[in-house]
Structure 1
């Protein structure tokens, strides 16, 4: 075991978390999020509480607690926050949940452990039926959520975007649904049947067998997990059935799934790096089409399928390669002031003269303001270097309104700006796009309109009225807002 200091919220004070040595800091943060209170927490103590509680329920067999502890320590399965904290589904917004890490059943050199997977399904079905034996409406049923599918396929040497990988996914989902469905609905499963063959020995046979006989008990819903503390606790690389978009871990090292896929191709990391530098694509990056194909393959096999996002979630890794700026690059520095607040705007250009880097420095603002502006311009620079057109940024940030704002000094082309970003991107539009954007209408408006304080709540139309009074100190007329109907 080791001791880590972690907190679920970056602004919260770190907690003392005791967990296994080979579990990462993300797991410590997940434990900090699920542990009640704000003091020290231990995985062993937290797990003992919910395991003892489940193992002590009527109908639990003698080995249930031992099997649940083994699934947790091997990071193969873990319950949702409600079971960790001892809160049942009655009166809660979510039902009791267990998350099953599919990649936890892949062992190097031996492939997928079908028997261990089968035992885990039966153990979790027993635990979920014990924790919620009553008859709840469909939204409140206990759930088994599968996760880390792509890492499981990687450990088997299979690509996410391929029919063999989709066949394995179908078998895994069908086996889980068959064990969890129970006999309360007549033992019926969806009409979609698993493939007759599978590259994993015994997995297709398992998926076919569990369809024949429903276990006793209520039905348990099946689906795929969403990002949350349980996935982090289990060391999940790709949440639910989504592909793994990045080949790297958060610390910059190659992920376990990447190493597994390289090993399946007979490549060392050094050989893969050499091939990448020569322009040869070593590992295919799954895109949204592959994600859609997997979604279609699994549709109808489980009760709850998550919705697909409209756009690719990781644009930088799924889009074009980063365009490098020259070591010595051209650009310019513009000094100006907006509403009396100075700023320096610096640009860096690609060889063809297009904008590739941006920095906006307000020297006299607060450190927080300078830090936020630096982070913002770094993200814009990364976007420009990955192919995002400058026009998109101009349309997004020109005419944005927030202080400081007002007359512009130091730039003859722009007389008034509604914010620092409004000035910066309208100036960049003129310099790099050849488009001059006019000032926002402001001459007829109150020049101090943006400086007036905003009330925290809108005043009601009735029940309040302004009342004038004279200040005894200055003799000026002041305005007070008072309640009452008189």
Structure 2
């Protein structure tokens, strides 16, 4: 039987290997040739199981399932409507404009379905925003969520992501009034288009909620041509509905791998963390590369993508919040240093190295970023997922060491502190050319740093009596004589998708 031609037909694919995170075993991934490795890792995270993953096959599984189920539920009133929804979903995914959240990709009935639209992907060639395509995408997302909920869900979760990337591409600083007007206009358009679709479903399947009598007024004008008029028209169309099928539709939810698949760099309303992102290359060096938003912003990237303060984030939420059916999650709390604590700007990252070894049967990787002097300014550890307690302790230690390094504590102090420390698994070391035995992961790590970065040769391997078998079974024991340092300060972590 010959399958009908779809957007997947003739699509050029490239094959690579990627894991959902550094702890996962790489999987064979087939994805569009022009998509990046971050999308491959996202596919590995979205696909159930641990076997090979092909985007067309993985996407078609849930797209075909939604089309078939929608026809059975009566949400789609004809075979042609089912085919049209399937085509629209394929187009959104391939253009990286929109996709469902992980629950639908994994076909997980226990998790609440969500659908996210990637705002920068709707930029048109003339520097404007494709308003008609965006409104159509909102309708497609609502239909997909209605079907995924079995036609019974009164609360949906359709939202957008990477607002900061869109604003940067439009040349608008996140904290400016023009940016808030554009954000409010897009939010109004999203709500209007979503409620209009819910109203059409209510006319077809029965209303469950009344139409809102009052909406917040959308902005009278914005710097995006046609946005204010489109938002007003969408809200007016929603007002004409006989009722609504859903009490909640437009909601900004915490991001998952779907945003990464779409190429989004921030979730929901979140501001950008900066114009660059750290990337580990194949040789283990850390490179600071421009973000996609910075490439769109051009010469103004540093100004447009500088870190926004809490006041700017709150002002943006105040502008968009009235159009949401559910408020976005609160941003993560940030640590505050005492007002009198001196702050030292961290030195720029110049390079870095990754060392990998197995210590007492425990696999571990140590990543080290170095500054202009060649000495480390930040360290990190990766261990397999099942070693959750060890991972937590190593993360806490790496954070503390990084703070101390940024405050001027010499690396030698940490070497003296952690060399031969009885911290968790210890024993034979595999994968290191010179260190053959260690009392712990930290012992191996800091003697490795001492040898490579400080040129020390006075730290021989411990004897077998220092690494008994019961060391790995004992609970982690941190040494208590930690180096003294000035009061800690907040330190910016590696960029990641934030909600």
Q: Same fold (TM over 0.5)?
A: yes
Task: Indicate the SS of the match to 1:63.
Answer: helix
- Give the direction of change, closer, same or farther, for the CA distance of 1:45–1:326 in structure 2 (3 Å limit): closer
> Aligned partners of 1:376 and 1:103: how far apart in 2?
42
Give the number of equivalent residue pairs.
344
**TM-fit CA distance, 1:160:** 0.7
- Give the direction of change, closer, same or farther, for the CA distance of 1:323–1:235 in structure 2 (3 Å limit): closer
> Aligned partners of 1:202 and 1:177: how far apart in 2?
17
Q: 2:84 aligns with which of 43, 54, 63?
A: 63
Instruction: Identify the residue that residue 389 of structure 1 maps to in structure 2.
Output: none
Report if aligned partners of 2:173, 2:304 keep a CA contact under 8 Å in 1.
Answer: no
Instruction: Identify the residue that residue 218 of structure 1 maps to in structure 2.
Output: 245
Instruction: Identify the residue that residue 100 of structure 2 maps to in structure 1.
Output: 79
Instruction: Identify the residue that residue 62 of structure 2 maps to in structure 1.
Output: 50
Residue 229 of structure 2 corresponds to residue 205 of structure 1: yes
> Aligned partners of 1:374 and 1:235: how far apart in 2?
39
- Give the direction of change, closer, same or farther, for the CA distance of 1:13–1:285 in structure 2 (3 Å limit): closer
Task: Indicate the SS of the match to 1:253.
Answer: strand
- Give the direction of change, closer, same or farther, for the CA distance of 1:115–1:2 in structure 2 (3 Å limit): same
**TM-fit CA distance, 1:246:** 2.1
> Aligned partners of 2:171 and 2:372: how far apart in 1?
39
Report if aligned partners of 2:114, 2:158 keep a CA contact under 8 Å in 1.
Answer: yes
**TM-fit CA distance, 1:169:** 0.6
Residue 86 of structure 2 corresponds to residue 28 of structure 1: no
**TM-fit CA distance, 1:11:** 3.1
Q: Deviations along 1:269-290, whole A, 9 cap, x unmatched?
A: 9xx8xxxxxxxx6864322221
Q: 2:410 aligns with which of 344, 357, 361?
A: 357
| Structure with larger Rg | 1
Q: Deviations along 1:39-82, whole A, 9 cap, x unmatched?
A: 11100001111111222222431421111101000100011222
Task: Indicate the SS of the match to 2:16.
Answer: strand
- With 217-226 and 354-363 compared, the bigger mean Cα shift is at 354-363
> Aligned partners of 1:146 and 1:121: how far apart in 2?
9
Q: 2:261 aligns with which of 230, 233, 247?
A: 233
> Aligned partners of 2:194 and 2:449: how far apart in 1?
48
Residue 302 of structure 2 corresponds to residue 310 of structure 1: no
Q: Deviations along 1:169-207, whole A, 9 cap, x unmatched?
A: 111111111222334432217642211111111111111
**TM-fit CA distance, 1:423:** 1.4
Bigger relative contact order, structure 1 or 2 (CA pairs below 8 A, ≥6 apart): 2
> Aligned partners of 2:252 and 2:105: how far apart in 1?
20
Q: 2:174 aligns with which of 160, 164, 167?
A: 160
**TM-fit CA distance, 1:146:** 1.1
Residue 11 of structure 2 corresponds to residue 11 of structure 1: no
1:330-345 map, 5 Å: none
The alignment yields a C-alpha RMSD, in angstroms, of 3.4
Q: Deviations along 1:88-145, whole A, 9 cap, x unmatched?
A: 4xxx2x3221111111101343321111111211222222223335334x5xx22102
Task: Indicate the SS of the match to 1:249.
Answer: strand
Instruction: Identify the residue that residue 366 of structure 1 maps to in structure 2.
Output: 439
**TM-score (normalised: structure 1):** 0.63
**TM-fit CA distance, 1:326:** 9.4
> Aligned partners of 2:168 and 2:60: how far apart in 1?
33
> Aligned partners of 1:23 and 1:356: how far apart in 2?
42
> Aligned partners of 2:40 and 2:444: how far apart in 1?
28
> Aligned partners of 1:363 and 1:374: how far apart in 2?
6
